[in-house]
Structure 1
Amino acid sequence: MNDFSVEAKGLTKYFGDFKAVDDVSLTVPTGSIYGVLGPNGAGKTTSLRMTLGIIDPDEGTSRVFGERPQAVRHRIGYLPEERGLYPGMKAREAIAFMGALRGLDWSEGRRRAATFMTELGLERVIDEKIRKMSKGMAQMIQLIGSIVHAPDLIVLDEPFSGLDPVNQERLEMLVRRERDRGATILFSTHVMAHAERLCDRLAIIARSQRRFEGTVDDARSLLPMQVRYTPRADADAAAIAALLPAGAEPRGDSWFFPIEDADVEPLLARITGSGLGVAGLSITRPALHDAFVHIVRQVDASFDADASTDAVEEALA
């Protein structure tokens, strides 16, 4: 088995003079859950569509299972960002129809549809027409239809958008189950909580370029841990400031400051040996959300600085 289900290299796409995607590469390990994260308009959807061969890149290549994506479409399940089902169809038939488009026998598709919906607690709407469903429920039906043929690669574009918390939990369960079945999952999102819980690896796209690739822990390690230290009520403020790292800030009864892994034990030794006491102490690792915001803000600041420089140079020319 190939170690990578998806290998997209140097994908670039222009729409007129606008470069929507700029030299983006994605390498997705087989059997993993891989997230493509980024702000709205960053280029996530265009990158996925080029990866799947739905639109052609102006530069770069994409291979799925070592082949051109068009040659292995029957092995792919795709949920697009724009949802769409025939409103007059019943849920079970809509799922079976989507499976038939990928070569699944109609009766088998209906059987699998009923099984999926029962397992997800959706059996009450098996024979309900799409037009009578909420947007979120119809989205769950389309999701099931995207995977009913048991694809080896499942690509979901903003799958959590529009779902209530119950259906978000159902979707997370379904993603994990499909991964455990052996499928590779590639999904885009700008909601960090889902990515933090699900992803084995992820890429962050901002301003049309890939700015990070790695694990969730790799992303979180870009920022230091944060410490909140509360000394005894009678502790001297000057003595506390001298004890803690430079830049520690008092807020109310507590002091806050960043810390690296290697400095944790020396800090604890200083505090316990100082005689200032401990009324409270917490060390918090950054969340993926914090790392994402850090990366995107750095990119935006660099972009704004470049734009300002260009404007000055143009004015002086």
Structure 2
Amino acid sequence: MHGNVSASGRPLAIEARGLIKRFDGFTAVDGVDLSVPEGAVYGILGPNGAGKTTTLRMLLGIIDPDEGYRRVLGAERPHDVAHTIGYLPEERGLYPAMKAVDAIAFVGALRGLPLKEGRRRGRELLEQHGLGYAADRQIRQLSKGMAQQVQILGTLVHKPRLVVFDEPFSGLDAINQGKLERMMRGLAEDGTTVIFSTHVISHAERLCDDVAIIAAGKVPFAGPVDVARDRIPAQVRLETRSGDGPWRAALPADLRRDGKSDGGAFWYFPLPETGIEPLLRALIEGEAGILSLSIERAGLHDAFVAIAGEAAARALEEETPEAIGR
């Protein structure tokens, strides 16, 4: 939608229309539209090379679009509000000889936070996240995961209104990924807008209010996760005692049956547009003998396949097999 509020009525932290970026004749981003409400956790989901990083860099003003419009925290020039934005780039990097607390303060200073205040807040953040013991250790003395956590805390030390993470879960073990997810939820609960890119569907499905699905530089879908999942009808899984009868006419034509040795059957089919109630009535009246019935909603992976296509989904699977939730 156009304007400065989301479909839900919340003000927009980010609004972008028709962003296009070319590099040496190659179109990396091709007409991207985004609307990110304030206080949301918003995911940009797609395989590596899809245009995620280029899109984020345009939103932040690191590079300018060749065409299109963007507004970030009310400003058409992202640099005007840079002091209210936290950014974790995909390419991590801290000075190895710096102490952890000084590294956090340094990143904050780049956003206008006085070094003394940055050190004070840095110690507080390290304590809050169980890293107080590492405050005076050099970055080179920390594990890769700990160093990444220090850089994440540096992204937050100046208390930004908008936090942008580019592939933030890369390089973190499962425990620290869980910590980061909780941190991101906490930021949103406090009113901070969080936008992150990822090629791991499970992170987007757990965290996001809204997502933009990006493939080959285009965004075929941007909106609530639930709306994306609703692109695919829910599936009904039915177990009946009887294997046949007049009630069979009530089942959709596009069903799948797995027979049972005792004469009953499992049935699997899309939820009818009329809902489950008419079907239940026909099954009961026809004495099908309902042993179990469940309605299974499509996951975000199935929605991604339907929206972005099999090739983009395969690219995700090749990067992270766990992305499909198996």
C-alpha contact (below 8 Å) 1:52/1:62 kept by paired residues: no
Equivalent of 1:265, from 273, 277, 288?
Answer: 277
Gap regions ≥5 residues in structure 2: 6-10, 261-265, 314-326
The root-mean-square deviation of aligned C-alpha atoms, in Å, is 2.1
Question: What is the Cα deviation at residue 20 of structure 1?
Answer: 0.6
Letter in 2 for 1:245: P
SS in structure 2 at match of 1:291:
helix
The answer to whether the 8 Å contact 1:175/1:185 transfers is yes
Q: Tell me the alpha carbon deviations over residues 40-73 of structure 1, each in whole angstroms, 9 at most, x when there is no partner.
A: 2111110110111101211112221222001111
**Is residue 2:139 matched to residue 1:130?**
yes
Matched, 1:168 2:180: no
Q: Which residue of 2 aligns with 1:197?
A: 206
Structure 1 vs Structure 2: percent identity of aligned residues? 54
Using a 3 Å threshold, how does the CA distance of structure 1 residues 74 and 272 change in structure 2: closer, same or farther?
same
Answer yes or no: is 1:25 the counterpart of 2:33: yes
Amino acid at match of 1:34: Y
Q: Which structure features the higher share of helix residues?
A: 1
User: What is the TM-score with the length of structure 1 in the denominator?
Assistant: 0.88
Q: Distance in 1 between matches of 2:238 and 2:104?
A: 55
In structure 2, how many angstroms separate the alpha carbons of the residues matched to 1:255 and 1:206? 35
Deviates more, 1:194-203 or 1:260-269: 260-269
Instruction: Specify which of 90, 96, 101 is matched with residue 99 of structure 2.
Output: 90
Aligned letter for 2:140? Answer: R
- Secondary structure of the structure 1 residue equivalent to 2:42: strand
Partner of 1:248: 255
Q: By how many angstroms is 1:243 displaced?
A: 4.1
User: Number of aligned pairs?
Assistant: 299
Unaligned runs of 5+ in 1: 302-317
Q: Show CA shifts across 1:150-203 (max 9, x none).
A: 011111111112211211111111112212222111111122222222222221
Change (3 A) 1:260 1:204: farther
**Alpha-carbon distance between aligned partners in 2 of 1:239 and 1:39, rounded to the nearest angstrom:** 48
Q: Is the 8 A contact 1:37 1:203 kept in 2?
A: yes
Asked whether the 8 Å contact 1:271–1:277 carries over to 2, the reply is: yes
1:280 to 284, 292, 295: 292
Q: Distance in 1 between matches of 2:210 and 2:39?
A: 11
Deviations 1:250-283 (A, max 9, x none): 1254221111463211122222222121222211
Distance 1:79 1:261, change over 3 A: farther
2:52 alignment partner, one of 22, 44, 54: 44
Contact 2:247/2:283 (CA < 8 Å) preserved in 1? no
Distance in structure 2 (CA, Å) of the matches to 1:131 and 1:294? 45
Q: Structure 1 runs of 4+ off > 6 angstroms? A: 298-301
Deviates more, 1:13-22 or 1:125-134: 125-134
TM-score normalised by structure 2 residue count: 0.85
